[in-house]
Structure 1
Amino acid sequence: MYETVKMLHSYWAYLTLLMIVIAALNALVKYFGKKEFHPIDFRISLFTLIVSHIQLLIGLIVLFAGPYFTVISELGMKNVMGDKLLRSNIIEHPLMMIIAVVLITIGYSKHKKKLTSTPKFKVLAIFYTLALISVLAKIPWNTWF
């Protein structure tokens, strides 16, 4: 069961990254191009929000159902923090992905309160781009290829 959820988390990550890239680029291009906000822009930001939240939930299942807490209890937190790979997998990756989803959620929520196109795209561009940077910074690239 754990291996299936872990595999789902790995494959869903491609869709999540793709949607964050699309949403961030869409917001940036349309903000700087002074374009009007259309329903497709709303759908892109909403779909990105949904996909990223699903990825977070799957990731939390992997984190809590996996062997990570056993590793922490056996090695101790000092040794986990001293090991680059363990620290990345158990601490840094989950924390940065939670931060990225929070940024997406804040950006989505704030953009709905704006009444005109330029402020909507500005908020989406800022928060979705920060989320994209957070995700790109902590993707385990060695396991992706």
Structure 2
Amino acid sequence: MYTGLQHLHSYLSYLVLLGLVISFIVGLAGMFGSKPFSDKDRKLSLLGLIPTHLQWVIGVILYFVSPLGADSISGAAMKDSVTRLYILEHPLTMIIAVILITIGYARAKRSIGENRGFKNIAIFYGLGLLLILIRIPWNAWPGN
């Protein structure tokens, strides 16, 4: 079960990044294009939201079944940068990124018919994407 979840979490990250990049670009284009945020644009922003939430749920499950997760929390683990990344830095940063992306979607959803919906998507999804890119454990990235 652990190995399957680990592979799913690793490969789903490609879909998360793709969805967030598409949503972010659409948000930027709409923000600078001065057009109103439509229901179609709201649905397009779900390309970033849904995979991110699915990835987060899988990550939470993985955190509690992985030997690198909750079981390895200790004072000594905080001195090792790789262990600290897996038990503290990666999960905490991803939670903040998911919260930002969710806030951006919720704010944009209430802005149908106004241009600020694009601004919300561009800012919040952009910040979430940046946090995700900063704290991905690149040494464990699929294909490395």
Q: 1:109 is matched with which residue?
A: 106
1:92-111 Cα shifts (integer Å, max 9, x gaps): 00111111110111111111
Aligned length: 141
- Which residue of structure 2 lines up, in the alignment, with residue 37 of structure 1? 37
Runs (4+) off by over 6 Å = none
1:1-145 counterparts in 2 under 5 A? Answer: 1-67=1-67, 68-72=69-73, 76=74, 78-144=75-141, 145=144
Counterpart residue identity of residue 72, structure 2: V
Gaps of 5+ in 1: none
Query: Percent of aligned pairs with the same residue?
Result: 45
**Long gaps (5+) in structure 2:** none
Normalising to structure 1: TM-score of the pair?
A: 0.90
* Aligned-residue offset at 1:123: 1.0
How far the C-alpha of 1:140 sits from its partner, in A, is 1.1
How far apart in 2 are the matches of 1:38 and 1:113?
A: 11
Q: Give the C-alpha shift of residue 80 in structure 1.
A: 1.3
Q: TM-score, normalised by structure 2?
A: 0.91
Q: Deviations over 1:45-89 (max 9, x none)?
A: 1232111110000001110111123322xxx2x211111000111
- The root-mean-square deviation of aligned C-alpha atoms, in Å, is 1.4
